[in-house]
Chains A and B, each alone.
Chain A
Amino acid sequence: MPGKIVEGRNLKDEWTLTPDFCVVGSGAAGGVCALKLAEAGFTVVVLEEGPNIPKGQGHGDKSHVRPMLNERESMMYKLLYQEGGARLTKNGSVKILQGRCLGGGTAVNWSACLPPRKETLLEWQKRGLPFTRENLDPYLREVVNYLPIVRNDKYNTSARKFIQGCDHLGMPHDNLPNNTHNCRECGSCGVGCPYDRKMSGFVKWLPDAVARGADVFTDTKVDKLVTSGDRVREVHAHFLDGKNRPTKGTLVVKPNKGVVLAAGSIGTPAVLLRSKMDLGGRVGKYTHIHPVTITIGKYPQPTHPAYGVPDNMWSPKFEAGPTGYLIETGSFFPVLSASATLQHGEELHRIMRDYYPTGAISYAHHTTGFDPKEEYGTVELDDNGDPELDYTIPEANVKSMQESLEVMCRIHLAAGASSVYVMRNPPLEVKAGSGFEEIKKIDFTESQRATIFTVHVMGGCQMNNDPKRRCVNNDFTFGSVKNLWVTDGSIFPTALGANPQVTIYALALWGAQEICRKHNAPFKLNHQQGGQWPWPGY
């Protein structure tokens, strides 16, 4: 019998549920675990802090099938993102864009699908993790075929300029596979696909889980886990209204078999910290991000930078090494652009007028987290029990971040840009032969010397053979708690060095298998045949 999606904002009473499993979070890991546990015959309740994204006819053309998703940044960031899209690190230095809605990050990511770097997996093996390129293969294959992941080569202007610039410089570039299907090229992946052409969690994993009986509660914020002995006995949550305010409704889940934490690398440590389950201070530690540096090239012709597939072109040239980086291309919109300029007065408007209509974007995700002596970031709770990430850009990344800006400027200029906007404070416009020296002076370790984003947060509750660092065991159980599993990106011991969506899916499948094994329940990978492997050479 199918389950249902229940919107917590409409609930005012005290609720108690007794499923087999409670899954906290509906993002990449939560969706996978909900589906695989439901497939195994368990009763499952998923708790998602953010809102539902119901299906229906929208006000656009007939393909607009998610009425709530209207692409307007001013509405979508506040509805779909943590802290309305304004989440920052504790010192304000990094803007953290993280999904907070049905489907979590999968609802708002730019659909990029890369496998884990082999180099990262080798580093993880050194730290005692069981994952290898070979033994991950069936899980990756399942993800590739189920979503599916494809090589969509409809390139937007940013990607085309990038290809042009790379070709001029003799720099390698490649298609970046993604999980879109008959993409309409609105460019709005980052504010939720209104057309169901991106295979987000709310399009794939979660409806399939609901079809197999899982119930999903949205607008439901988990306060804490209640343990006794070596087991979690209850999950306490409350409901939120449409403006994030608590309603009078509360929920207690008393799982018969266990709890799966899949609330992401800030959310999962936060739940554990609120539950006083910090494992002697290890929970929340060693949290990693991919700091993102950004450039906008100014070209002679209009580029319509909002439209087209946002993230399907990249260069693998600089990805290797503990501080390597991936240069990717994207789309950009007025609010995100304006709020990242660090500019005021007529200069703000000039930059928007000069760079928006004829702009093309490239940006670089930087790998961090490989130095075993560094502590990196820490998730803490503020006085209200809300999480914040204490993070400073590591010294080791400064040079590569300067380098990525320089490389991206050269690519833009080689592609015909007359100047390149670097989001430094004060703003920097690089032209052929000028401005490059200024890039080398940017100190990314200091807050607001440049605009730094991240869209990938990892670690904070890591799997590791070092008992001083280990929170999660190799069977995905947490500490010595027998019925608590962690399956999201918080288990990463380092940053991944690639867009993490696919790796989280694959590890969550592995984690779900471990849970099923423990309970002698069936687990099957159903999509091993067919499909085209999207990563030649991997």
Chain B
Amino acid sequence: MAVAGILNHTLETLARPKSRPEVKPAKLDHLSNKTALILFAVAEAVLGENFLKKCPKFIETVDDYLNYQRPAQRQQLITALLVAETRLFNLIVGGNLRGFSHLSLADRREVLEKLRSSDREQSRNIYAAFVTVAAGTYYSSDLTWPDIGYPGVSVDHPEILNQKPAPWRPQDPRPIEP
């Protein structure tokens, strides 16, 4: 833990992520302004440009989620973000000499693809962490639900459960119990 802390501190000091107007400096529990920018670049690669339109609280949601991780796992995600921003990492993985956040969208996706198909377990784990966090957070936003035909939760829309016949058990003649 102490080693991870020192590593993260060093990496963060050296990191120079690309500024993005979409990411405003904010007081967050676990992400710094720098790691928030790297997370944004990762999320953009996973989700596509303008993803904040449908998930405006993406950074805040991830940051809050980190409260519920055990500290070691939280550190690991932050380490993965900071490592991804190092030039050495991008040189080895994608042949780029710039930090991840400075790469074009296409180049970032190429890096993701290489991580995904890597023979190294650690690289695949980084890929899994990035896509899990980004995709899970994005599709937690109500604004994305119409895209996938999800009407929402029943406590907000009790009428969903009162349709007759219930669309998930069509032709079932039994009444819906109260």
Residues of A in contact with B (beta carbons under 8 Å apart): 58-61, 63-64, 69-74, 78-79, 83-84, 86, 88, 91-92, 154-157, 160, 182-188, 194, 243-245, 302-308, 333-346, 348-349, 352-353, 356-357, 382-384, 386, 388, 425-426, 446-449
Contact = CB atoms under 8 A, between A and B. Distances in A.
A334 B144 contact: yes
Given A70-B153, A194-B155, A348-B46, A183 B147 contact: no
Given A60-B155, A92-B128, A183-B177, 9 more contacts: A84-B67, A86-B65, A186-B160, A188-B153, A245-B67, A335-B136, A344-B45, A349-B48, A384-B70
B125 A448 contact: yes
A185 B168 contact: yes
Nearest to A387: B70
B135 A386 contact: no
B41 to A, nearest CB: 13
Please list the 8 inter-chain residue pairs (A to B) with the smallest Cβ-Cβ separation, ordered nearest first: A84-B68, A357-B149, A60-B155, A339-B136, A74-B140, A71-B153, A448-B124, A338-B139
A302 B167 contact: yes
Contacts of A349: 47-48, 147
A157 B131 contact: no
Contacts of A187: 154
B14 interface: no
A207 to B, nearest CB: 22
Given A83-B73, A338-B136, A349-B147, A154 B127 contact: no
B154 A307 contact: yes
A340 B133 CA distance: 10
Nearest to B51: A349
Contact of A84 (B69, B149, B153): B69
Nearest to B129: A92
A503 B124 CA distance: 37
28 contacts: A58-B155, A60-B155, A72-B153, A73-B140, A86-B73, A92-B125, A154-B172, A182-B178, A183-B177, A185-B176, A186-B160, A194-B154, A245-B67, A307-B154, A338-B138, A339-B136, A341-B135, A342-B127, A344-B116, A348-B46, A348-B47, A352-B147, A353-B147, A353-B148, A382-B72, A425-B128, A448-B124, A448-B127
A382 B167 CA distance: 47
Which among B47, B64, B136 has the highest number of chain A CB atoms within 10 Å? B136
Nearest to A334: B139
Contacts of B168: 156-157, 185, 303-305, 307-308
B22 interface: no
Interface in B105-163: 109, 112, 116-117, 121, 124-125, 127-141, 144-145, 147-151, 153-156, 158, 160-161
Contact of B169 (A91, A157, A333): A157
Interface of B: 1-2, 29, 45-48, 61, 64-65, 67-73, 109, 112, 116-117, 121, 124-125, 127-141, 144-145, 147-151, 153-156, 158, 160-161, 166-169, 172, 174, 176-178
A386 B153 CA distance: 33
A72 B61 CA distance: 13
Nearest to A78: B68
A220 B125 CA distance: 32
Given A307-B160, A357-B149, A156 B45 contact: no
A132 B65 CA distance: 44
Contact of A70 (B69, B155, B167, B177): B155
B131 A74 contact: no
B47 A334 contact: no
Nearest to B57: A74
B177 A86 contact: no
A333 B2 CA distance: 38
Contacts of A91: 121, 125
A386 B71 contact: yes
A170 B74 CA distance: 48
Contacts of B176: 185
B127 A386 contact: no
A134 B61 CA distance: 51
A244 B169 contact: no
A386 B70 contact: yes
Contacts of B141: 74
B139 A337 contact: yes
Nearest to B138: A338
Contacts of B155: 58-61, 64, 69-71, 186, 194
